[in-house]
Amino acid sequence: MTLGLGEKELVPLREELELLQRFLAIEKVRLCERLHVDVHVEAQAQTCMLPPLLLQPLVENAIIHGIANLPAGGTVRLSAECSGGHLHLSVENSVDPDAPPPRKGGRGLTNVRQRLGARYGKEASMKTTAEEELFRVNISLPAGMADAPAQPSESELAPAKEVRL
Amino acid sequence: MPAQSKIRALLVDDEDLARHVLRELLKSHPEVEIAGECANGFEAVKAVAEQRPNLIFLDVQMPKLTGFDVLELIGTEIPVIFVTAYDQHAMRAFEVHAVDYLLKPVGRKRFEAALTRARERVAEKKPMPAELAAAARPPQQFLERVVIRDGTRVTLIPVSKLDYAEAQDDYVALASHGAKHLKQQTIASLEAALDPARFVRIHRSYIVNFERVARIEPYGKDSRLAILTDGTRLPVSRAGYARLKSLLDDRV
């Protein structure tokens, strides 16, 4: 599945989320009860298209720079919604307020920003917010829909749900 | 086996799976008793005081307090086997005279070798000089936070929140947000560890966070006072004033 992704230009959010769940399952083995994950995805957003592996580095950052530094752990919140012709994504994580500022030269955020810029130009935006105990990345990109050959079944279009790993 | 060579080991790793591996490897060693397990450095400092282990399996990368921070707080009397996924800490490990340095995933053969060395070290009962712990910091890197132990409680002060430090015999009193924390360290070694672009030795007994200095006032014939943003008044020696001035000149 991963190898096949490189050939695809865009994937539906649903697929990106499936991949993320697998990644999170591995991190869950490492961090056990220290890692909480909240996923809140609007039903309509599930079929929105986005570049493959766009969210993965953001979630990985949230864990490495956020949750892994907290002795008692914390929560990674992922949310997606569709409005005004745009797909709005946000990845949010708890951070240690006393941690030294992250070292420069990290590639994750830069890569995501460049990929968005290259594909969508000014149509897409990315914003990071660093608060005392919280770090958040907001992404907005044009909400192209999947060329659904058939109507997605009811089960695939499940209403917004919260998944707690 | 003589009673004194019985090993009481403490397992310190933030990942349960990693501790599980060590437990499994130790199963074939009845002479090693597991004194406790800790999921972070805070628990480790507490367990060392309470369980009195004579061997520690210590992870390096842990939340907030690293394995090296733990060593700085507990001293280096207890033999330590580092267990880490990264090889870049090996030099520091040797500087603090670690018994061994195991890379994850830990294999049976390598583990046995480390345990043999640890057994010899435990039998020797040779305490390590305390100053070795201070060498645990990599060179050319300034302190980002100070770790302080008060009994079994550990406090971390990011240097940005350190207002000033005052020498008190063999201790330094670290002032942060109106509270003072005592740490057994000389003011000279603290000064050497802090970024000279942010901290100035203004007096034989004082280091100040440059950001906190509101103004300097003359005081007496030859000396001055530094008034901090919170109103604290600290003496400034002649040499200290010169250092303050040159830092100011660098900044302008």
For A3-133, strand residue ranges (E) read 11-12, 35-41, 49-50, 74-83, 86-94, 125-131
As for the ipTM of the complex, it is 0.70
Question: What chain B residue is nearest to A68 in terms of C-alpha separation?
Answer: B63
CA separation for the pair B210, B242 (Å, rounded): 14
Residue A154 pLDDT level (bands cut at 50, 70, 90): very low
Mean pLDDT of A46-71: 94
CA separation for the pair B156, A98 (Å, rounded): 8
pLDDT in tens, A102-117: 655 578 899 999 999 9
Mean pLDDT of B137-141: 60
Question: What chain B residue is nearest to A98 in terms of C-alpha separation?
Answer: B158
| Residue predicted with more confidence, B131 or B192 | B192
- What local confidence, expressed as pLDDT, does residue B140 receive? 58
| Residue predicted with more confidence, B75 or A122 | A122
Distance in Å, alpha carbon of B111 to nearest chain A alpha carbon: 21
Instruction: Verify whether the Cβ–Cβ distance A98 to B158 is below 8 Å.
Output: yes
pLDDT in tens, B149-164: 988 899 999 999 999 9
Closest Cβ–Cβ partner in A34, A69, A100 for B145:
A100
Q: Which residues of A touch B161 (CB under 8 A)?
A: 98
Instruction: Verify whether the Cβ–Cβ distance A30 to B42 is below 8 Å.
Output: no
DSSP A145: B
Question: What chain A residue is nearest to B41 in terms of C-alpha separation?
Answer: A71
Distance in Å, alpha carbon of B231 to nearest chain A alpha carbon: 25
> Residue A17, Cα to own-chain centre: how many angstroms?
8
**A55 neighbors A35 (Cβ within 8 angstroms):** no
CA separation for the pair A28, A51 (Å, rounded): 25
Mean pLDDT of B70-83: 90
- What local confidence, expressed as pLDDT, does residue A105 receive? 58
| Identity of the amino acid at B160 | S
Please choose, from the candidates A8, A78, A3, A23, the residue with its C-alpha nearest in 3D space to the C-alpha of residue A46.
Answer: A78
Residue B91 pLDDT level (bands cut at 50, 70, 90): confident
Task: Please give the mean pLDDT across all residues of chain B.
Answer: 90
- Write down the pTM of the prediction: 0.76
